[in-house]
Structure 1
């Protein structure tokens, strides 16, 4: 789900990184920078730079949807996941707070 969220925001190579959510943690900007070599290696160095472009929070403890093995949607209209998008400002969200728990990184 995190990868899908990030992929909708850019054209090109996009990566979703999970952010640790304790009282003290790295910013998304720092996480993307720290993953630069692995990101570029994974795309065979087709690009040279990596940057954070979005951050978001997926709220845990949500209700579960039932399986839909046929074409019917048994839980149609039921509330499920909740997310909060921070956009670019979330990339520098202070590491002293939980805030976003996923970071969107872009290779360009």
Structure 2
């Protein structure tokens, strides 16, 4: 699941012009002269973990932003659980925390 998330976060990262990298790739593929490099295997979302990915994307929409994107706080996660009447078990909490750490890594990554 983390490989899938890493791929999705990388596609969503802003390119130099502010647009998502994935949008640039999709547009380039529409050009008849475009020759795609040998595509790496795109990680797939494990179906048994899809519900956690869906929860994370919903949580991510409620993320606080100040001067930069902030990590999800425990209060935000607990409030989301209360609002949606969901209770994470320890495994799900761990996956959400790791997804958040990976998301923050992509947000703070400096591109050359």
Please give the TM-score of this superposition, normalised by the length of structure 2.
Answer: 0.28
Higher relative contact order (Cα pairs below 8 Å, separated by 6+ residues)? 1
| Structure with higher strand content | 1
